[in-house]
Amino acid sequence: MYIPKFKQTPARHTNGEEYRLESSGEAYRGFYFETSKQEYYTGRSYARGVSKKLVLQNIQNVGTETPVPQRYDDLKKDSTSLQLTVTLKLPLHIPTKNFQDIFIYRYFAKSKIDFSILEISNETYNLLLNKSTKYHYPTFDILSIQWYVSSPSTDLIRDGFLQEGSITKNKRQIINAERKLPGISQYLTDPAELT
């Protein structure tokens, strides 16, 4: 088989995690190139009898894949953007409270693409806040709020003073949150939730 130079990409290097030798299944570390048919071979360019065909490994990290650099990624040399090409969807989180809680923190992410809002966990919020490449953080606005869950849920007058209930406090939280994350008031429609 002959592969002309114009049908080969410039050589790249792999650390042994992306590809394995098709013939033996052994992980391959070293230089490789891609053909115009999107096949991968060992070496800096094709050499008859020397270059061996490579196949992508089945990487079984926790729901993530190792991204394969394309020509643009090689030119740009931006590893963060490359890592963001393979990201997970944000997982939905359903908040719970303990009996003794006065308030809990709730965390939200709003997509800059379709403007949908999703409640997320503290862990997911921190990953987005710290710009982890597990999730595509540039496409989300995030927000955390205090959500009151203790009794009384309605306002009471005690000794001539108004004691705000958790519903009134949560209504105020929703108004403040709407300023920071427009549309959240359509998501948080029940200020008595979890009380």
User: Are the C-beta atoms of residues 17 and 10 closer than 8 Å to each other?
Assistant: no
Question: Measured in whole angstroms, how far is the alpha carbon of residue 144 from the centre of its chain?
Answer: 17
User: Are the C-beta atoms of residues 88 and 123 closer than 8 Å to each other?
Assistant: no
Q: Are residues 112 and 162 in the same domain?
A: yes
pLDDT for res 195: 66
12 belongs to a structural domain: yes
pLDDT for res 63: 42
Does residue 88 register a pLDDT over 70?
no
64 belongs to a structural domain: yes
Question: What's the length of the chain?
Answer: 195
Q: Answer with the one of 50, 84, 118 that is the final residue of a domain.
A: 84
pLDDT for res 64: 45
139 belongs to a structural domain: yes
Q: Are residues 10 and 77 in the same domain?
A: yes
Its domain, for residue 21, covers: 5-84
Q: Are residues 140 and 66 in the same domain?
A: no
136 belongs to a structural domain: yes
Q: Answer with the one of 84, 114, 138 that is the final residue of a domain.
A: 84
Chain segment 22-36, per-residue pLDDT in tens: 888 888 888 887 776
Q: Are residues 79 and 110 in the same domain?
A: no
Q: Which among 116, 19, 24 is positioned nearest to 68, based on CA atoms?
A: 19
140-148 and 103-111 as β-strands: parallel, antiparallel, unpaired?
Answer: antiparallel
21 belongs to a structural domain: yes
Chain segment 90-131, per-residue pLDDT in tens: 767 777 777 778 888 999 999 888 888 889 999 989 988 988
Banded model confidence at residue 145, pLDDT cuts 50, 70, 90: very high
Q: Answer with the one of 21, 56, 84 that is the final residue of a domain.
A: 84
193 belongs to a structural domain: no
Q: Are residues 108 and 168 in the same domain?
A: yes
148 belongs to a structural domain: yes
What value does the mean pLDDT of the chain take? 77
pLDDT for res 175: 94
Q: Which residue, chain included where needed, has tokens 């995690």?
A: 17
Question: What is the count of structural domains for the chain?
Answer: 2
Banded model confidence at residue 171, pLDDT cuts 50, 70, 90: very high
